[in-house]
A and B are shown apart, each in its own frame.
Chain A
Amino acid sequence: GQQVMQIPQYQHVQEGEDFTTYCNSSTTLSNIQWYKQRPGGHPVFLIQLVKSGEVKKQKRLTFQFGEAKKNSSLHITATQTTDVGTYFCAVEYGNKLVFGAGTILRVKS
């Protein structure tokens, strides 16, 4: 079945440092979604990328979709303690979403 590899599994940064998580697929994707799950919470939809080479920004978050539509990244500039949580990418497979393993972000203040 469809799989998407997400790295790193875990990142611990100092507040103010940048953070990036990456998702890679062996097949071309129609689109990719990103979710954030706070500790103890549930996944919350952040964004969907559809176009090749697309770049979207949400305040300090920058989302990119690769030219070949096989990879994507989420970059957070100048992390804050409110950014802690697990970030998941999710891709379509048939009529369902398949989630990456997630990247756990911890921010030291």
Chain B
Amino acid sequence: GAVVSQHPSRVICKSGTSVKIECRSLDFQATTMFWYRQFPKQSLMLMATSNEGSKATYEQGVEKDKFLINHASLTLSTLTVTSAHPEDSSFYICSASVGRSKETQYFGPGTRLLVL
């Protein structure tokens, strides 16, 4: 099956710093990648949809200047949390699909971010 990797798996940073999370599709080309955030014991909340070579589409309430998304190639998308604050601490998960839609998504292992 399709494999998606995410790096780092866990990060602890000081308030005010920026953190970059990478999402890679290892054995397929992902036209579309999705970024989710999940708080403890809650569901996945879509943050943004990113298509290779174009600007990401952000969900309502998600600040695009705070959560910078770059999808420079068909196998790599990055999420940068800029000027992180403790309330940004969460589990960030990316997923990838082959087509330009919401069809079967393959999830990365997630990144646990703790901002002190």
Interface SS of A by simple majority: strand
Query: How many pairs, one residue from A and one from B, have CB atoms within 8 Å of each other in the complex?
Result: 45
Interface SS of B by simple majority: loop
A43 to B105: give the CA distance in the assembly, Å: 10
Minimal Cβ-Cβ distance residue in A for B49: A96
Minimal Cβ-Cβ distance residue in A for B60: A1
Interface size band for A: 20 to 34
Contacting residue for B34 out of A45, A96, A102, CB 8 A: A96
Which of A35, A41, A45, A48 has the most C-beta atoms of chain B within 10 angstroms of its own C-beta?
A45
Contact yes or no, B102 A88, CB < 8 A: no
Q: Would you call A22 an interface residue if the criterion is a C-beta within 8 Å of the partner chain's C-beta atoms?
A: no
Contact yes or no, A100 B43, CB < 8 A: yes
Mark out the residues of chain A between 88 and 109 whose CB falls within 8 Å of any chain B CB in the assembled complex.
88, 92, 94-102, 104
| Chain A interfacial positions (CB closer than 8 Å to B) | 33, 35, 41-45, 48, 88, 92, 94-102, 104
